[in-house]
Amino acid sequence: MEEEEDHSKTKRKRSIQRNRLSENNRKYELYNPSQTFRAHPVDKAKMRRLHGLNVLFATAAIGTVTILCDTEAFVVPSVRRLGTPTSLITTTPNLIRSPFIIKTIARSTKTPLFSIKQTLSLQLEKPLGLILEEDEETGSGVIVTQVNQGGSAYESPQASKLIGSKIQSVMGQDVSSLTFDDVMSVIVEAPSPLDVVFMLNGSELEEATTSSEDPAEEEPRYKIGTDVLITVQQPENNKPDIVLTAKVGDNLRKALLSNKDIELYRSLKKKLGNCGGGGQCGFCAVELIDEEGCWGERSDYEEAKIGKKESERCRLACLNTIAGPATVRTL
């Protein structure tokens, strides 16, 4: 009697072990009472070596096999067929119950379900030199579309990763779900330097890892801190030209406002209703004549804010850092 009870307990124990998914051994166990076959556990090292996948966890369901890796997950269709299942990587056999074949993973057959986004934290002095646009996909938050020379972000070793990233927080405040105007207000009102967290997506991460193979970008003609001459024309006021000595990297709006004889905001509406350099009002628009071609093209955001009726040389002074000598004409 005791022998029968011991035998029964042993049988139940083996049954439980056989039908349990063992994460340590990466076993697949499917239950089908009518068929018994053999399969094999997944070998993490071989998966990484043969397929470039770092398997963290694997599980099986009827008709599919789910593989969870360090950066993404895949669902691989399994083929229904009576016979001996072949595993992803052949190792020590493990008895399971299933009439399905687990297909070998290849890069051409994997279907990404999600990607893990990474963040980048930077402390940046004003001006940041970032051109921001509303995130059209979500309708909230802002995306970095351009990193301008002269801004603190451009001087960061991580500058190449910022384009296409989304600002997640500013000074610890989550701005990822705010409107464009609200995000700009947070940035404008925050003291300098700013603690900014950027959310990088998968494509930017991939580009960042391969950027070292790309040819080096052309060095700017004038280094940060170089003294250059800015000629300011005010045709509406019939005033003589004013020549400013400014440094490369300075914010153009601040340089113009530093001289009391330059009237950047001429009307009462502009004087009282300007956004204080946040890039929202468009009242600091000026015409920029860049004879040496060192200021680069204006951003899409500036073009949309200023309007196509104005000259293509019009810029928002608050969003431009001085990149070299130029002539600025107030509007």
- CA-based R_g, the chain, Å: 31
A 10 A CB-CB count for 81 gives 10
The fold for domain 227-330 equals: Ubiquitin-like (UB roll) (3.10.20)
pLDDT at 326: 95
Q: What would be the CATH architecture of the domain defined by 118-213?
A: Roll (2.30)
User: Contact 126/194 with Cβ under 8 angstroms?
Assistant: yes
Name the one residue in this structure whose structure tokens are 């790309």. 214
> So where are the chain's domains?
2-115, 118-213, 227-330
Query: Counting Cβ atoms within 10 Å, is residue 246 exposed (0-12), middle (13-18) or buried (19+)?
Result: buried
Query: pLDDT per residue over 265-290, tens digit each?
Result: 988 888 888 888 878 888 999 999 99
Query: pLDDT per residue over 97-151, tens digit each?
Result: 232 333 333 333 333 333 345 788 888 888 888 888 888 888 889 999 888 887 8
CA-wise closest residue to 314 among 292, 291, 284: 284
If pLDDT is split at 50, 70 and 90, which confidence band does 2 have? low
Q: Is the confidence at residue 243, as pLDDT, over 80?
A: yes
CA-wise closest residue to 324 among 253, 218, 220, 232: 220
User: Contact 248/228 with Cβ under 8 angstroms?
Assistant: yes
- Among 171-175, 219-223, 260-264, the range scoring the smallest mean pLDDT is 219-223
Between CA 328 and CA 234 the distance in angstroms is 9
H helix count then E strand count, the chain = 9, 19
With pLDDT > 90 as the criterion, what percentage of the chain qualifies?
18
Hey, what are 32's tokens? 């089908």
